[in-house]
């Protein structure tokens, strides 16, 4: 198959409430949609680095895509890219793709191949797949409302709930104990500290809340080198997210206490690299979950399909579409009884709100 069309669109989607990233408020979600065409067929990918979290900027993304346009159209695409076994790296690896660019190009190419074969993305990528994805319900708002919010999530069918911690340790301890009591074992409680604490602070917090209250803590420590000691002193499992930018899987598998790795394809370098992590983790008995960086529903559908292809049906970090005032997919991604349905969902041009997009020149 040969790509004969490459188009780029920008978007700027207002959020119903700010996202706080590294202490800064993000009021809208900006990014690009990449359109690749082969004859009448189209494949779409999202490239939306998150300000304050992603290493790359919107400007650097556009510059790289301008350089890649002719490369993408130069020759026939390699065969069997959908196997995610190194084909994308062999094709484009020499260009040092920015992480979000790798995700967007791979997403667009795979959607294009799926369209040509008249299958869903999940059907393209895996023989064993899930049609419904359990979702980590994301608690939001002021601490005073979070306990009741967690109780309502359990009533709504969520079996996993995520809480951001890292405020005052004493306040966090009280909040976690209150939420744990409210959900009463009917859902797993996952905490995310965003590398906030020193070793002593993390150990104090962990021993105060106890293993019975939480399933794992994501990135509890400022230094990942302290994770084994934290685990030995608290027995609370750890999930890695930001640390995956600076360590290899070889490092992770030797790290005592790591039970989960949180995979964000827009951050770690695309779909193929994500799938390499998934395969390696499965071989070592480490859990994986697919998570978003507040992509639009376009990117979220791709991530949900990846989660649906996973070897284990773990709760995915995809409860983010509720932040958007308007979104790129005409038909929203709905979560019912704590799960997102993806069976039969395909990505075509008719699914996209083009009125929210502005075409950008790649010359």
Domain CATH code at residue 141: 3.20.20.120
Give the residues across from 359 on adjacent strands.
Answer: 9
Residue 145 CB partners (closer than 8 Å, separation 6+): none
pLDDT for position 23: 79
pLDDT for position 363: 76
Q: pLDDT for 185-195, tens place per residue?
A: 999 999 999 99
Give the residues across from 162 on adjacent strands.
Answer: 138, 190
Tell whether 40 and 160 lie within a shared domain: no
- 3-state class (DSSP) for residue 230: helix
Per run of 10 residues, the mean pLDDT along the chain (length 363 residues) is: 96 94 90 97 98 94 96 93 97 96 98 94 85 93 91 97 94 96 94 96 96 94 97 98 94 95 97 96 94 97 92 87 94 92 84 97 87
Tell whether 85 and 193 lie within a shared domain: no
Predicted TM-score (pTM) of the model is: 0.94
Tell whether 239 and 264 lie within a shared domain: yes
CA angle 85, 96, 262 (to 5 degrees): 60
* Total residues found in the chain within this entry: 363
The answer as to whether 34 is a domain residue is yes
Any idea what the CATH number is for the domain that residue 37 is in?
3.30.390.10
Radius of gyration of the chain (CA): 20
Could you tell me which of 232, 283, 274 has the C-alpha nearest to residue 257?
232
Tell whether 195 and 219 lie within a shared domain: yes
* Residues spanned by the domain of 89: 5-118+351-360
Tell whether 236 and 329 lie within a shared domain: yes
The answer as to whether 355 is a domain residue is yes
The answer as to whether 124 is a domain residue is no
pLDDT for position 16: 95
Strands 258-263 and 287-290: parallel
Residue 31 parent element (H or E): strand 24-38
Tell whether 153 and 246 lie within a shared domain: yes
- Please state the domain count of the chain: 2
The answer to whether the beta carbons of residues 13 and 326 sit under 8 Å apart is: yes
Q: pLDDT for 53-93, tens place per residue?
A: 999 999 999 999 999 999 999 989 999 999 999 999 999 99
pLDDT for position 332: 85
180's tokens: 């744990």
The answer to whether the beta carbons of residues 46 and 298 sit under 8 Å apart is: yes
pLDDT for position 162: 97
Tell whether 147 and 50 lie within a shared domain: no
The answer to whether the beta carbons of residues 216 and 163 sit under 8 Å apart is: no
The answer as to whether 144 is a domain residue is yes
Long-range contacts of 114-121 (CB under 8 A, 24+ apart): 114/43, 114/82, 114/346, 114/347, 115/41, 115/42, 115/43, 115/346, 115/347, 115/348, 116/1, 116/38, 116/41, 120/305, 120/342, 120/343, 120/344, 120/345, 120/346, 121/301, 121/302, 121/305, 121/346, 121/347
Tell whether 195 and 292 lie within a shared domain: yes
264's tokens: 């964000």
The answer as to whether 127 is a domain residue is no
pLDDT for position 22: 79
């Amino acid at each position: 198959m040969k790509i004969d069309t490459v188009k780029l669109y920008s978007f700027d989607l207002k959020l119903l409430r700010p996202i706080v990233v590294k202490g800064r408020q993000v009021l809208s979600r900006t990014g690009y949609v990449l359109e690749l065409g082969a004859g009448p067929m189209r494949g779409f990918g999202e490239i939306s680095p998150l300000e304050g979290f992603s290493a790359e900027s919107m400007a650097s993304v556009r510059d790289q895509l301008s350089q890649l346009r002719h490369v993408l159209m130069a020759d026939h695409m390699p065969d069997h890219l959908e196997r995610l076994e190194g084909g994308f790296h062999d094709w484009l690896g020499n260009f040092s793709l920015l992480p979000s660019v790798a995700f967007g190009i791979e997403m667009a190419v795979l959607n294009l191949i799926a369209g040509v074969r008249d299958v869903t993305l999940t059907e393209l990528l895996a023989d064993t797949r899930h049609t419904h994805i359990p979702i980590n319900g994301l608690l939001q708002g002021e601490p005073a409302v979070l306990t009741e919010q967690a109780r309502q999530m359990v009533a709504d069918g969520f079996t996993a709930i995520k809480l951001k911690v890292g405020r005052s340790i004493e306040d966090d301890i009280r909040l976690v104990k209150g939420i744990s009591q409210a959900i009463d074992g009917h859902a797993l409680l996952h905490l995310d500290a965003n590398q906030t604490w020193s070793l002593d602070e993390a150990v104090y917090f962990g021993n105060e809340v106890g293993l019975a209250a939480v399933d794992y803590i994501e990135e509890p420590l400022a230094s990942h080198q302290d994770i084994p000691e934290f685990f030995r002193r608290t027995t609370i499992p750890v999930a890695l997210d930001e640390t995956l930018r600076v360590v290899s899987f070889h490092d992770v598998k030797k790290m005592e206490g790591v039970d989960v790795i949180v995979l964000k394809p827009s951050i770690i370098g695309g779909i193929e690299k994500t799938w390499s992590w998934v395969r390696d983790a499965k071989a070592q008995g480490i859990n994986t979950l697919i998570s978003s960086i507040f992509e639009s529903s376009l990117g979220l559908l791709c991530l949900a399909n990846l989660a649906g292809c996973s070897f284990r049906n773990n709760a995915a970090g995809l409860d983010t579409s509720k932040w958007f005032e308007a979104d790129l997919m005409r038909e929203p991604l709905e979560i019912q009884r704590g799960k997102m349905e993806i069976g039969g969902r395909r990505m075509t041009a008719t699914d996209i709100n083009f009125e929210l997009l502005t075409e950008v020149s790649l010359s």
